[in-house]
Amino acid sequence: MEPFHPSLTFPFSYTFNTTTSALGGGIAENIATSCPNPWMDARIWCKLPHRLLDRVIAFLPPPAFFRSRCVCKRWYALLFSNTFLQLYLEVSQRRHWFLFFKNKSLRGSYIYRNNIGGSNGDSNRGGTNCEGYLFDPYELSWYRLSFALLPSGFSPASSSGGLICWVSDEAGPKTLILCNPIVGSMSPLPPTLRPRLLPSIGLSVNPTSIDVTVAGDDLISPYAVKNLTAESFHIDAGGFFSLWGINSSLPKLCNFESGQMVNVRGRFYCMNYGPYSVLAYDVAANNCWTIEAPMRRALRSPTLMESSGKLLLVSAVEKSKLNVPKSLRIWGLQACGTTWVEMERMPQQLYVQFDDLENGNGYRCVGHGEFITIMILGSDKALLFDMSRKRWQWIPPCPYVHAGVDGDLHGFAYEPRLATPVTGLLDQLTTIPFQAFSA
């Protein structure tokens, strides 16, 4: 057992309900008091071998795990035990959760002289602690996370493998930080080669490697940007690394807005506009191309997302001359890489309610696993679609955000993890001489 660290703070805001059915609270209470139920006899449970008890704790969802750490010093110190964390990585279940942040209007706050005007920044900048809102789609529960250790001047850009990628707001070569918000760890990456304004960020993290792609918004002058190039970062456990290699040029007339790139089976995807198409980038082949979007001239606010190894496109369909009712649809890209097949469609009665609440203000979609969340801009209303159960339902409003006052939420697919050992590969960068190269 590693040393006990009493100074570490809890990442979760303890505003959720605690019940004796939770593992931590239930065991602690029954050990301290007598119970007529022989199955909860303290004389039995207090003699349970630590290895079995640790295995039970490893199955707990993060909020219950952090509550259980209040029981005793040993349980508190499990977060620092390599033995327990290894067990946790082996047996813990994948949780397709979401992490939301208050929206930051960065494009209006830029001054192209490579600094940011303090008067134009928002409440999350300038040294104010940033916070995120974790949503559990299985229990329809919200939790608040603090990012107190994160330096000011960074915004969340992408997520993968339990890590959130933050990118510097300042125009110029971008600095990225990989953060595990559950345990508060932060791992910086070397600055990018090209100066950029608001590039799109793609992140892919697996147990043995990290891939990052930064694309578009090349800062070709102090007053102009174009989507000309993309550059990639790679490091893996096999000892191979590339520190920001410039990729081949992006396709001509590439017109994608800055945002998050979706990773599916070694390829990054993002939406291209005017008319709609999908920009695809194969990391291994260092090749970019475009894929025509379905019903591209009738889409409104299309969004890409990954689900079970497949690329999905979610969009409202609206066209005055279309001979079908307005709707919100979900398409899946087939294995051939060029054909889309409609998978789901929002029930028409529900879409009428959605359309009335949305009222042309727009919406944001985020997908993770079998879940899709649809946040209506300008309100606290949101929908959750469970693709495995074919069920639509309204999400309880986030209790930490005041609709119309704090702004809208934008989110990321997030898998909470107590440990992300792959970030240990980044420690090698301190001993590796940096040599830029062009592909």
pLDDT digits (tens, 9 = 90+) for 216-231: 899 988 888 888 899 9
SS3 of residue 280 by DSSP? strand
CB contact at 8 A, 348 and 327: yes
Q: Give the integer Cα–Cα distance in Å for 353 and 376.
A: 12
Per-residue confidence (pLDDT) for residue 36, from 0 to 100: 58
Q: Give the integer Cα–Cα distance in Å for 65 and 32.
A: 20
Decide if pLDDT at 48 tops 90: no
Find where tokens 């590796």 sit: 432
Highest mean pLDDT among 18-27, 35-44, 192-201 belongs to 192-201
Decide if pLDDT at 373 tops 60: yes
Q: What percent of the chain has pLDDT over 70?
A: 80
What's the Cα-to-Cα distance from 372 to each of 55, 173, 208, 330, 390, rounded to whole Å?
A: 31, 34, 28, 10, 11
Name the nearest CA neighbour of 65 among 413, 424, 416.
Answer: 416
Count of Cβ atoms closer than 10 Å to residue 285 Cβ: 10
CB contact at 8 A, 315 and 302: yes
Decide if pLDDT at 22 tops 60: no
Per-residue confidence (pLDDT) for residue 322, from 0 to 100: 59
Q: Give the integer Cα–Cα distance in Å for 419 and 259.
A: 27
What's the Cα-to-Cα distance from 393 to each of 142, 162, 168, 183, 371, rounded to whole Å?
A: 16, 26, 36, 31, 11
Per the prediction, the chain carries an average pLDDT of 80
Domains of the chain: 23-91 (no CATH), 97-424 (2.120.10.80)
Decide if pLDDT at 130 tops 60: yes
With b for 16 or more beta-carbon neighbours within 10 A and e for fewer, the 187-221 pattern comes to bebbebbbbbbbbbbbbbbeeebbbbbbbbbbbee
pLDDT band at residue 110, thresholds of 50, 70 and 90?
A: very low
Name the nearest CA neighbour of 98 among 422, 412, 329, 320.
Answer: 412
Q: What integer is the mean pLDDT of 63-90?
A: 90
Q: What percent of the chain has pLDDT over 90?
A: 39
Q: Give the integer Cα–Cα distance in Å for 348 and 326.
A: 8
Per-residue confidence (pLDDT) for residue 29, from 0 to 100: 36
Q: Which residue has the higher pLDDT, 434 or 296?
A: 296
Decide if pLDDT at 306 tops 50: yes
Per-residue confidence (pLDDT) for residue 250, from 0 to 100: 86
Decide if pLDDT at 150 tops 90: no
Q: What integer is the mean pLDDT of 247-251?
A: 80
Q: Give the integer Cα–Cα distance in Å for 205 and 176.
A: 14
pLDDT band at residue 137, thresholds of 50, 70 and 90?
A: very high
Please tell me the total number of residues recorded for the chain in this structure.
439
Q: What integer is the mean pLDDT of 30-39?
A: 49
Per-residue confidence (pLDDT) for residue 16, from 0 to 100: 35
